[in-house]
Each structure stands twice: as C-alpha cells, then as structure tokens.
Amino acid sequence: MENFYMPDNYEPILNLKETAAFIKITNDYLETNFARELNLMSVPSPSFTLLENDKCNNSINKKKEPILEKEEKNKIKHCDNEIISWKKNALNRYGFETENGLYTRLTCEENIAQSKIYYSVLSWEKKIKKNDKNLHLIKYIAKKIFKILKMAEKYIYQINSKLTFQLLDEMDFMTLQEIEEKFPNITLENAIIKITKKKKIVCIIENEPINNSKKINKNNSLQKHCCEINGYIFLYYSITNQFHKISNIKVSANNCENTVIKNQKNTHSKSIFQTIGGNINITKILIFFLKKIHVGEIQSLIWPEKFAKLSNDYNIMLP
C-alpha cells in the first residue's frame, strides 16, 4: 500500500446518490453562468479528445509520472491546435460578432500512473477587438471565471451546508518571470504548490519571453507559443495537498496562422480577427466543490479490479 496516498480518515460528505444529484446541479449552474458571463453559445463539435499533461496527480498514486517525451508533447500541441482551428472556423461559420463566441463539451484525456483518466471540459472561443490589450483580457476573463466559482461555491453551500467555503475573496496573479525570480532553485511544479497553498487560487500568465530560465523551462508544461499569450488558473486542494489546473486562457494574435482539420481539406487559413479562448475543467472543479479525493468519484469510468477493491477499502465511492 506504500504506493498509494490517502488523507487520514477520509469520509465522503455525500453518498453516491447525493453525489450524482450534486454533479448535475453544479454542472448546470457552472455551464449556464460561464455562458452568460462570457457571452457564449453552446454549439456541437466534432469528436475531439483533448490531451493533457497536468502534474497535479489526480490519481491516488504518490509518484509523479516523468515529463512527457518530445513525441507525446508534439501530439498534445497538434491536438490543441486542431481544436483551436476548429473553434476559430466555427466562429466564422456561425457568424458570431465581436465580444461573442461559442463553447462546446469535450473530453480531456490524461495519462497518470499508466492509466488513462478522462475529464469533462468546456472548451470556448470568442471574438475580441483587435486593439484589446492581451494582458488586460487574460486578467479580465480570469476574474470572470473566479467570480463564477465564488457564486457556485455559495450556491452549493446554500443547498448543503456541509460543503463549506474554501476559496478566498480574491484571486492572485503572477507571471512566470515573477515565479522564476521568487523560486530560482525549484521546479515550476513545486513552486506552484507553494504559491497555491498560500493563495488558494492563482492565475499564472505567460506575457513575455523567459530568459535564463533553465530550471523552470526544463520542468514546466506551460510551453509558450509565438503568437499567443497564455494564462493558467491553478487551485489548491487542501484535502489532498495538491494543486489542480482548472483552466487555461489564450489570446491568439491576429496574424496567427491556423491549420484547418482534415475534414476541411488540409488547407491553411489566416485569421482575420483576434480571439480569446480556452478550456475549463469541470470535473476538477467538481472534485474541489464536492470535497472528493479522486476523479473516479465524479467521472464514471471502468477501473482496474485492483483499484476498485482499493476504493472500497478507503471509502472512495465509484459510480
């Protein structure tokens, strides 16, 4: 059992039936309010599966997986580019105006401890004005997402007072350069653990090239793209002493070339508008709000027999 981590005396607040009800309630609340606050409309999408490299270790295995090989990183980047390309083209096909956009439900796949874990994700994109300041936009959207999380937390608490408040009143912002200067001798993962443990929720922004960053660049999964500015929202979860990456936000430059997916004849097109978009990991947010310790308590999957038996021993209720 030494390869497994469990909080002492874990007792789920919600039983299996209550969990299912709260998943539905919280899902609907988050989706409705994200769409309203960000001016988004739900649209159907092709069958995409996001590939994720998140070091927050959402299995109950203590050991961190090694950093992805170059081939796997390229696979993730290619998948992400295809989804962004589809969303940008969809914005045109549906005729969305500036400050409006779309969202769709996707499945996010993550490899942890030699197992595939799947998450439910809201993937969104909207048109913005060409002269909008990128850094301001990232912070504006991040604050919107935080506002919705605070609203959802209060909404859930009103239904079940055992699901107590965990978020602070404000979200902090830091750049990768600031993290490098503050934590020069540790990996980005360990730096984020320290930061989120103190601040509870933080948005980390890539807003300029990082110089002399051998330590951080070697160990982080936040790869910079030449025509984008990126923001990443991390949430600290005290029950498991881990951080979760719950959202990423990207501003794409006006002259960014996009590869069109195969069913659109493998052509290339250049954006004639600027966009902002990203992904919101609903499953990880549900783990946090419902005070669960494993993705299997939220997402219905087929688990290995060994894990299914272990889950019973440690009160992990698998749907």
Q: Is 42 left (phi over 0), alpha (psi -120 to 50) or beta?
A: beta
Q: Which of 40, 46, 78 is nearest to 276 (CA)?
A: 40
Report yes or no: 296 and 106 within 8 Å, Cβ to Cβ.
no
pLDDT of residue 238: 86
3 is a domain residue:
no
Is residue 4 situated within a structural domain? Answer: no
CB atoms within 10 A of CB 7: 13
For residue 9, being part of any structural domain is answered with no
Phi-psi region of 113 (alpha: psi -120 to 50; beta: other; left: phi over 0): left
Beta bridge partners of 309: none
* pLDDT confidence of residue 266: 43
pLDDT tens digits, the chain, 319 residues: what are they?
334 456 667 788 999 899 999 999 999 999 999 999 999 999 997 766 555 555 433 333 333 333 334 444 444 444 567 888 889 999 999 999 999 999 999 888 776 655 677 888 999 999 998 766 688 899 999 999 999 999 999 999 999 999 988 888 899 999 988 998 999 998 888 899 899 999 899 999 986 443 334 344 444 444 444 456 899 999 998 888 888 899 999 987 644 444 444 444 444 444 467 899 999 999 999 999 999 888 878 877 666 666 666 666 666 776 6
Total domain count for the chain?
1
Question: Does residue 6 fall inside a structural domain?
Answer: no
Q: Which two tokens stand for residue 135?
A: 């850094």
Does residue 230 fall inside a structural domain?
Answer: yes
Range of the domain at 35: 16-313
Write the CATH number for 187. Answer: 3.30.930.10
Position 245 scores a pLDDT of 92
Instruction: Determine phi and psi for 77, rounding to 5 degrees.
Output: -60, -40
In a domain, 5, yes or no: no
> Is residue 168 within 8 Å of 201, Cβ to Cβ?
yes
Question: In this predicted structure, what is the pLDDT of residue 60?
Answer: 30
Torsion of CA 216, 219, 223, 229, to 10 degrees: -40
Mark 108-128 as b/e (b = at least 16 C-beta within 10 Å): bebebbeeebbbbbbbbbbbb
The pLDDT of residue 273: 78
List of residues 6+ apart from 94 with CB closer than 8 A: 41, 43, 102
Beta bridge partners of 258: 269
Q: Give residue 59's pLDDT.
A: 31
Tell me the pTM: 0.78
Place of tokens 């794409």: 252
Q: Does residue 2 form part of some domain? A: no
What is the pLDDT at residue 51?
59
Q: Is residue 319 part of a domain?
A: no
How many residues does this entry show for the chain? 319
